[in-house]
Structure 1
Amino acid sequence: MRELDNTFDSATPLGGGIEGVLFDIDDTLVDLRTAAIDAFLAMVDDLLEGVTSERLRFIAEDFADDGAGAYERYMAGEVSFLGQRQLRLNRAFDLVGHKPLSAQSYLRWAEKYESLVKDSWKPFGDVLPHLAALSSWGIPYGAVSNNVEAYQRMKLERSGLTGFAVVIGSDTAGAPKPDPAPFLAGCSQLKSTPGRTLYVGDNPINDVQGAENAGLVAIFVDRESKHAVQSAFTVSNLEQLTVFISQSIDSRE
């Protein structure tokens, strides 16, 4: 794992300055995992009577973490957005020996779940201060996400996150991450050179490898220190990134 330090500028093409920052959204800026767990638990409390609270928590986390691998199938065009969520719910029910919901019951469940999860969207506590710092330094920022652009714009707005010069979705980039297309589309719209653009994300493959392959400088956000080895520069929160960028700016003045 490479932690940010004063060798960062000399080890990357950023000696001439940071021209822009692009972010992943889900679980990098917005705490989607907590929102999904809370909404899931609220929605299954009456459906799974007799299941212990510990077991409910386990399947809620599996649902949020997509233990079914359903989202990748959605990205590949194999299932719809609602379909991938149904696969995750079916797996959760199966883990506690419960029959899946009928098609009609699932649609009602999904509608209520969507409302609850939207109400639970919140940014991590370090996000707003970090974005404010970027704005104060005149560094433009945007987002590149593996979800539909309109949906992700709504997520940012409902989470109170503003100032994004660019929002690229998997539907508008022509391909999802880790393909280089969405990263390069973000740089193009941000008007930043890829080699002087940070990409900040929490997924080792979609975010880190994808950004590096596209020529951006990847910053891996490992909030829970789950990953022992990463080629990218690693931070545990955006406060660390704010401090580094501040020091980097000061060193050039």
Structure 2
Amino acid sequence: MPDHATALSSLLSRTDAVIVDLDGTMVDTMGDFNEALNRMLHDLGLPAIEAERIESMVGKGSEHLLRSVLNHVLAHMDKAQAAIKTEAFFPQAWASYQRHYLEINGSYSAVYPGVVEGLTALQSAGLRMACLTNKPLSFARPLLQAKGLAGYFSQVFGGDSFERKKPDPLPLLKTCEALGSLPARTLMVGDSSNDAQAARAAGCPVVLVTYGYNHGQPVGGVDADGFVDSLTQLA
């Protein structure tokens, strides 16, 4: 058995519960982001943003995403006034984005290969599971339902479920409480430095997928306990 597989097996043998991220970990939602954001920009009379620009902005919550998109688009029009105009546009942008995202939620996204098989194996092993995402809860729950993933999780928490978002450790600590598990025996599975930093600060082991977003940066340089190309490797 390869060393990395042995390490994963050893880690799972010390695990009572698993916390799984959503965007970039279970579901490729970049198409949803691209569609909703460009519908929002159209409503505001602003130019569209290229899909490849969005990846580096995803992962820190919808408020951060919208401000990043607005600042990027407005900077091309008037760099000196971009930050001021971003805040001026934000309330209208937020309302428009929420409306459009809920309309298309899941329509332009797909579950990554191996996710269903991996979650099924973890569930069959008797592990308690929660989904913890920085996505608003009103977006996360319908997406999990639409993609047939909701039944794997006893708890689902979004970026607005607690006072702070990942990479702050608070969401992980609160999720561990809800699962009734100790952080040291609760595995965080994510795709980015946000997940890893939150897990380290909370005292949870962390494994990252290699195919996610990670703010557009290579995930291999992130401090984690392991990396997997598919959730089936956690089986």
What interval of TM-score do these two structures reach, taking the shorter chain for normalisation? Answer: 0.7 to 0.9
Q: Against the structure 1 CA distance between its residues 84 and 38, is the aligned structure 2 distance closer, same or farther, given a 3 Å change threshold?
A: closer
Does structure 1 conserve the Cα–Cα contact (< 8 Å) formed by 2:119 and 2:231?
no
Deviation at 1:223, TM superposition (A): 1.1
Query: Which residue is equivalent to 1:192?
Result: 181
Which residue pairs with 1:5 in the alignment? 5
Distance apart, 1:25 and its partner CA? 1.2
Is 2:17–2:187's contact at 8 Å kept on the other side of the alignment? yes
CA contact (8 A) 1:24 1:143 kept: yes
Shift of residue 211 of structure 1? 0.4
How far 1:216 moved relative to its partner?
0.7
Q: What are the equivalent positions in structure 2 for 1:195-214 lying under 5 Å apart?
A: 195-204=184-193, 206-214=194-202
SS at match of 2:123: helix
| Distance in 1 (alpha carbons) for counterparts of 2:117 and 2:124 | 10
Q: Equivalents in 2 of 1:239, 1:90: separation in Å? A: 39
1:160 corresponds to which of 126, 141, 148? 148
Residue 105 of structure 1 and its aligned partner are, at CA, apart by 9.0
Q: Residue 240 of structure 1 aligns to a residue in which SS?
A: helix
Residue of structure 1 in register with 2:161 after alignment: 172
* Partner deviation per Cα, 1:114-142 (whole Å, 9 max, x = no partner): 52344223321221111111121111211
Q: How many residues align?
A: 217
Counterpart in the other structure of 1:120? 108
Match of 1:226 in 2: 218
2:219 aligned partner, one-letter code: H
**What are the residue-to-residue correspondences of 1:27-38 with 2, within 5 Å?**
27-37=24-34
Deviations 1:67-95 (A, max 9, x none): 8xxx75xx6xxxxx579526515624755
Partner of 2:57: 66
Once the two structures are superposed, residues 148-174 of structure 1 have per-residue CA deviations (whole angstroms, 9 ceiling, x without a partner) of 334322221122212211112333333
| Conserved 8 A contact 1:21-1:198 | yes
Using a 3 Å threshold, how does the CA distance of structure 1 residues 195 and 114 change in structure 2: closer, same or farther?
same
Residue 85 of structure 1 aligns with which residue?
Answer: 66
Q: TM-score of the superposition, structure 1-length normalised?
A: 0.68
Determine the structure 2 residue equivalent to 1:78.
none
Secondary structure at 1:65 match in 2: helix
Q: Tell me if structure 2 keeps the 8 A contact 1:86–1:106.
A: no
Q: Of residues 21, 45, 52 in structure 2, which corresponds to 1:24?
A: 21
- Cα–Cα, structure 1 residues 166 and 4, in superposed 2: closer, same or farther, change >3 Å? farther
Shift of 1:212: 1.5
Kindly tell me: are residues 185 and 106 of structure 1, through their superposed partners in 2, closer, same or farther at Cα, counting changes over 3 Å? closer
**Partners of 1:63 and 1:89 within 8 A in 2:** no
Q: Which amino acid aligns with 1:22?
A: I
Provide structure 2 residue ranges, at least 5 long, that are not aligned to the other structure. Answer: 79-84
Q: Which residue of 2 aligns with 1:239?
A: 232
For the residues of structure 1 that align with 2:55 and 2:18, how far apart are their CA atoms?
Answer: 27
Distance 1:241-1:38 versus aligned 2 partners, 3 A rule:
farther
Partners of 1:35 and 1:169 lie apart in 2 by 17
Letter in 2 for 1:85: L
**Amino acid in structure 1 at the alignment position of 2:69:** R
* Structure 1 segments unaligned to the other structure (5+ residues): 50-55, 76-80, 243-253
Identity of aligned residues (%): 27
Check whether the contact 1:41–1:60 (CA below 8 A) recurs between aligned residues: no
Deviation at 1:20, TM superposition (A): 0.8
Give the aligned residue type for 1:146: N
Q: Would you say the 8 A contact 1:223–1:236 is kept in 2? A: yes
Task: Look at both structures and tell me which one has the larger radius of gyration over its CA atoms.
Answer: 1
Q: Which amino acid aligns with 1:5?
A: A
